Structure 1
């Protein structure tokens, strides 16, 4: 996998090509000061909301029981102000409203799938920039996009291409995990299809294997094959209840992309997967006995809590609790003004 292939898999590169066959989305340039904020490893504060942006840590006792947290005998107060991005916030909210008020956020390549633990509803559904920032600042996947997108490329010693980072907002869609599949393309031939959510057993997937393969193969032949910039790549699809297949994402053909129920060795070298066979190899979880825990579970202990447990930064927990409190207050306010 070369750097050029990674560049070709940026959302803004493939979306215009396959716009008719994927979810409606808006792409916004990511300002440099926003990138700096996302990479700031300081206290966990979130800007871009209507709530007070000042987070105050008080070591003295307070009349409010929720603020009565004493961490030391040092009677000092530290105020951290979250940066504000008025112009960017306005553009993001306008885009969110255009897409129906609910969006799925991602950067050039990745979505913060490893950070859904921090959302109150354990969902990546976002209504505002503050929701997006909270997910992005908690995600290792997002940090990887911003800092080392070419770290596993075979030509990593060459100069890195210039990347213009972007915020991608996708119209929120309720996708059933059992309808998602990852497809592997080598030399412009669809060689393998894997159940996307391989940690679960879906009876209908096993029963409809032949039908699913034909539907995905037809979609690939009609809309994807020879239209992408590389001959080796990976793409994700969703087959809805009406049988229509939608393109969800495009990824590089290499270790940076999860090979799911296949191995990269067999995808590259054969291993039972032949480019001459009539159709792609298909794999799914075949019984409940083989169900596995989600691979994202390892990301559910936030680094901030690790810092807390080692005594490195006790204030991070206060910030986190206040963010949760603000989110809850915002939801209560929205419910109060909602029409009956």
Structure 2
């Protein structure tokens, strides 16, 4: 996976190409770099009479806020937010309705601040690229607002393309069993192949990529997203070794390999559930960070000692016998 391939999977790159085959959307771009000069910092901070105390004024972006609200209204009043590549799917737990549906800018900010996926987009978009010796491309970050649509998870599929050939299809929500997929697997696979050959194949900038689709109740297929062909993208029911090697998956078969959950016995918890637990708790429970475990034990010992001292202080004093 090259850095150029990651750049080509940005929403603003692929959306104009496939606009009529995907969900209506709006995106606003923001400058890549911010000015952090001392003069600006001084303007943002209002110092009180006490030199040891400072009140920081929260920044305001009235023009940007206005554009976002206009876009939300134009898209029906509620939207699905994302950045250049990722949506904050790992942060829906923090929303009041446990949904990515947003009605205001504050809803969007709350999800973005709580999402590791968004943090990755902002800080390490080229982390797993093979051409690390080359300079990172300059990225102009985009707030993407997509018209809210109620998508049934059982209708979402991830498709893997290598050398402009559709080689594999995976159920997106692979932790659940959907009866209709089992009953219609041939129809679903054929519908995706037809969509790919008619609308996607040879029309994208790269010959290796991953795309997500949604097949609605009428059998129509919609493009949802495009992703780089590499480990930065979840391979779901496949492994990246299978997809990139010369094995069975990438051989010249007539139709792509299609994998889905075939029984309730194999149902698993959603991988996004792990994002609801503070990272420190995960490290402690798995023993991945020995230093955190040591600090935790020291803290527990200190708390126990304090508790013992409080118990001694609260213990009633023993008085001598009143008998003579």
TM-score category by the smaller chain?
0.7 to 0.9
Is it true that 1:25 corresponds to 2:25 in the alignment?
yes
1:170 aligned partner = 146
Instruction: Pick from 159, 162, 170 the counterpart of residue 194 of structure 1.
Output: 170
5+ long unaligned stretches in structure 1? 37-76, 312-340
Higher Cα Rg, which structure:
2
Whether contact under 8 Å (2:167, 2:249) holds in the other structure is yes
**Corresponding residue for residue 161 of structure 1:** 137
Paired residues, number: 270
Structure 2 unpaired stretches of 5+: 37-52, 283-291, 297-324
2:66 & 2:198 partners in 1: Cα distance? 39
> In 2, Cα distance between the equivalents of 1:95 and 1:177?
26
- Out of 105, 111, 125, the position equivalent to 2:87 is 111
Q: Is the 8 A contact 1:184 1:253 kept in 2?
A: yes
In structure 2, the residue matched to 1:59 is none
Q: 2:225 is matched with which residue: 249, 258, 261?
A: 249
Shift of residue 302, structure 1, vs aligned partner: 4.4
Q: Deviation string for 1:75-122 (max 9, x for gaps)?
A: xx9966543211110000000001001100000000001111100000
Partner secondary structure for residue 279 of structure 1: coil
TM-aligned CA deviation for residue 148 of structure 1 = 0.7
SS of the counterpart of 1:248?
strand
Alignment of 1:215-254 (within 5 A): 215-254=191-230
Q: CA deviation at 1:35?
A: 11
Q: Is the 8 A contact 1:236 1:248 kept in 2?
A: yes
What's the CA shift string for 1:16-44, capped at 9, x where partnerless? 000000000001012568999xxxxxxxx
The answer as to whether partners of 2:32 and 2:140 remain within 8 angstroms in 1 is no
Distance change >3 Å, CA 285–CA 91, structure 1 → 2: same
Corresponding position of 1:265: 241
1:119-147 superposed Cα distances (whole Å, 9 cap, x missing partner) = 00000000011000000011111111011
**Structure 1: how far apart are the matches of 2:33 and 2:9?**
25
Once residues 104 and 305 of structure 1 are traced to their aligned partners in structure 2, the CA distance between those partners, rounded to angstroms, is: 30
Contact 2:84–2:141 under 8 Å retained in 1: yes
TM-score relative to the length of structure 1 = 0.75
Query: Secondary structure of the equivalent of 1:130?
Result: helix
**What is the rounded CA distance, in whole Å, between the counterparts of 1:264 and 1:32 in structure 2?**
32
